[in-house]
Amino acid sequence: MTDSYPAERTALLFVDPYNDFLAEGGKVWPRLRDVAEKVGLLGNLRAVVAAVRAAKIRVFIVPHRRWEPGDLESWQRANPYQKNAARTQVFAKGSWGGEWYPEFAPQPGDIVVKEHWGSSGFANTDLDVLLKQHDVARVIVIGLIANTCIECTSRFAVELGYHVTLVRDATAAMSEEAMRAAHEINGPTYAHAIVTTQELVASLSAR
């Protein structure tokens, strides 16, 4: 692996580390479990976060909208994905499912970005300006879901001029087909690097 990650120019984007995605009893976890367990998601997330913090790379938490009753009622063009999330109240505000998965809760020095309504952590949020204000040029993207928020956030990052690294086993999707699409079909069309957790940790440790 040849990519380098200077701490002062690199950020970790941890997308949607909510209980509903990552915890037993979470609303979405049952649909992610098979793929998540196959790739070792939780262990890999732990390893990436630990390596990033050891390398003094800043962590940005990139959270989805915490839904509230009445959201989208007056919207003209809410998409099916948004409507379903609002209907089922995934990551409902004030609920256990909408709380951070305890191991990945923001730590002192982390930056929590404004919540995104769609799939991109950049659209209608302050992520871009926060990255620019911290002189970030490279982003490492982990979290959920591989073929929705991870892909959309990463594509948007490339369009804005950032160097993007995908960590293929520090994410999950609802099927192996979706994972393949995210990392073998779509990812190579935009990402600068697609790596495993082991490869990333080795690169960060070599610094």
Q: How many domains is the chain built from?
A: 1
Does residue 145 lie within any of the structural domains? yes
**Taking the model in full, what pTM does it have?**
0.97
pLDDT of residue 95: 98
Confidence label for 44 from pLDDT (cuts 50, 70 and 90): very high
Confidence label for 207 from pLDDT (cuts 50, 70 and 90): low
pLDDT in tens, 126-153: 999 999 999 999 999 999 999 999 999 9
Does residue 161 lie within any of the structural domains? yes
Q: Residue 1: is its pLDDT beyond 80?
A: no
Does residue 1 lie within any of the structural domains? no
Does residue 118 lie within any of the structural domains? yes
Q: Residue 2: is its pLDDT beyond 70?
A: no
Residue found under tokens 């204000």: 133
Q: Residue 56: is its pLDDT beyond 70?
A: yes
Does residue 61 lie within any of the structural domains? yes
Scored b (16 or more CB within 10 A) or e, 53-78 reads: bebebbbbbbbbbbbeeebbeeeeeb
Q: What is the CATH number of the domain that holds 27?
A: 3.40.50.850
Range of the domain at 98: 8-206
